[in-house]
């Protein structure tokens, strides 16, 4: 019964954005970023680090300058990738308002899920800045949930909507390991890479 209730709360596929101007999609994307960064990269890590200090838990070595640099670099790359998503996808990065077109441009020509990569890099940077082992554990749990649940859910929808074009792309572009040569939509078929993180669908 609990599984049925959960299934009713989670849609069977991402919701495609309604047609809108680039300015409106950009505004929605910036709003999503403010909310998600504030909660997932601000409130939750801060509360975790505060609880660790209150419990006199262990702390990481003094890595806060490095963590700040990692966070800044990942944030800039994430913002640039979100702009590519809005520009070429005619939607937003949020699965409940996702792109209308398949995005194979910018960093997507090298790796399938740059938004997730940069987001987790941000969280690692925050953990290093706060010197918090708990934030790194929180990040690892988030990565596992994304890899095991969110990624297959999103990729099944991409395969349904874009068919062979997406399957060709998925076969040679990994979700985690960037390729050096940028993918071309017209490149000849190649044997799949060993670590493409292919979904089970």
Q: What is the pTM of this model?
A: 0.87
- Domains of the chain plus CATH, in order, are 32-172 (1.20.120.1630)
Sign, Cα dihedral of 129, 134, 140, 144? negative
Distance (Å, whole) CA 42 – CA 36: 9
What is residue 98's predicted lDDT score, i.e. its pLDDT? 86
Mean pLDDT by runs of 10 across the 201 residues of the chain is 44 75 92 95 97 93 91 97 93 85 94 95 97 97 94 93 94 93 77 51 38
- Chain centroid to Cα 20, Å, comes to 23
Distance (Å, whole) CA 86 – CA 58: 41
Distance (Å, whole) CA 73 – CA 86: 20
Burial of 7 per CB tally in 10 Å (0-12, 13-18, 19+)? exposed
For residue 73 the two structure tokens come to: 């670099």
């Amino acid at each position: 019964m609990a599984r049925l209730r959960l299934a009713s709360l989670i849609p069977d596929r991402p919701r495609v954005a309604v047609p809108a101007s680039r300015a409106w999609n950009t505004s929605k994307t910036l709003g999503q970023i403010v909310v998600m960064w504030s909660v997932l990269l601000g409130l939750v890590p801060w509360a975790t680090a505060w609880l660790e200090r209150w419990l006199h838990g262990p702390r990481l070595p003094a890595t806060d300058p490095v963590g700040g640099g990692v966070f800044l670099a990942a944030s800039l790359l994430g913002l640039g990738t979100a702009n590519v998503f809005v520009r070429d996808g005619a939607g937003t990065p949020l699965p409940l308002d996702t792109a209308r077109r398949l995005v194979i441009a910018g960093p997507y020509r090298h790796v399938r899920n740059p938004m997730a990569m940069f987001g987790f890099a941000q969280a690692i940077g925050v953990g290093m800045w706060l010197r918090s082992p708990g934030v790194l554990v929180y990040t690892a749990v988030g990565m596992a949930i994304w890899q095991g649940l969110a990624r297959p859910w999103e990729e099944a929808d991409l395969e349904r909507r874009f068919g062979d074009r997406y399957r060709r792309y998925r076969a040679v572009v990994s979700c985690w390991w960037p390729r050096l040569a940028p993918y071309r939509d017209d490149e000849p078929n190649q044997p799949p890479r060993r670590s493409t993180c292919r979904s089970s669908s």
